[in-house]
Amino acid sequence: MKDEIIKFVNNFTIELNPKVQKKITKIYINKKNRVFITYLPESEEKEIIEAIQFVNENGITPIPHLPARTMRDLKHVESFLQSIRKVSNTDEILVIGGGGNQIGKIASSLDIINSKLLEKYDFKKINVAGHPEGSPDIDDETLKDFLLAKQKINDSTQLNIQIVTQFFFEANPFIEWDKMLNDIGINLPVRVGFPGPATFKTLLNFGLMSGVGNSLNFLKKNSKKIGDLLIKTSNDELLIKLIKSSKLSDKGRPNSFHCYPFGGFEKTCHWLSAIQNGEFAIENDKLVFHKKIF
């Protein structure tokens, strides 16, 4: 199982908030790994572009977030893409509906993907959102329709579309969601969103803010068992179950690994690198690291 964990995590991606970027001077990950740059509703676009440039100057490929409902119109989208091109030649982007209220004419990620602006600015790898436990903002049937439309775009254009999921805390919702994707004819690869090591309190807070579904109850039960919300956990059991489920999935999903660094960006980078380098043993389905990280 150790070799399988290393292989699964090896080509990880990780998220970086522009406000966190201002507090760090270097990114401690392998140059082959990529960094998603978040674009939250309250973010300043200037900070986002600076974060993209920072990642690029560290020799790492940035993957900017492009939230549809935060964009005023397609002119705004084009302006943002032009700004990215001034600081990076990345070929990859994440196009999502985004949090918050719609502030302009763009209602969904499909409006941007269908605009041909991504091709115009040489974005070839397009990440889109996946919700194994559903979304608090969009009903399940609409989510299916969106994914079917994106599958059609993947099959009929030069764009390569990949699903990146919301994080969750137990494997069963993902396994059932993967079966549903098969049933409706979705064969897009899936990069699974994984909650990085953090305290139970932090994970609960992020779960509540992000509208995580039933697996939040699983986390609550486990935090009560441990009895200390300030104990850090890396949910190794979830990691191992996801790897096992990929072997049973018709499409090998999850195909790759994305980490949400809830316990801190730099420490999570060290945690991921330690897994990449095999600097751990497995004891009772737990990863025991050679050196203390958290």
Structure confidence by residue, pLDDT tens digits, 58-113: 999 999 999 999 999 999 999 999 999 999 999 999 999 987 788 899 999 999 99
Let me know if residue 256 belongs to a domain.
Answer: yes
Let me know if residue 294 belongs to a domain.
Answer: no
Q: 43 Cβ partners below 8 Å, 6+ apart?
A: 18
Let me know if residue 65 belongs to a domain.
Answer: yes
Q: Which domain holds residue 25?
A: 2-282
- CATH number, residue 271: 3.20.20.220
Structure confidence by residue, pLDDT tens digits, 154-173: 999 999 999 999 999 899 99
Let me know if residue 292 belongs to a domain.
Answer: no
Structure confidence by residue, pLDDT tens digits, 194-225: 999 988 788 777 776 666 666 667 666 665 55
| pTM of the entire predicted model | 0.93
Let me know if residue 289 belongs to a domain.
Answer: no
Number of folded domains that form the chain: 1
Let me know if residue 291 belongs to a domain.
Answer: no
Let me know if residue 290 belongs to a domain.
Answer: no
Let me know if residue 287 belongs to a domain.
Answer: no
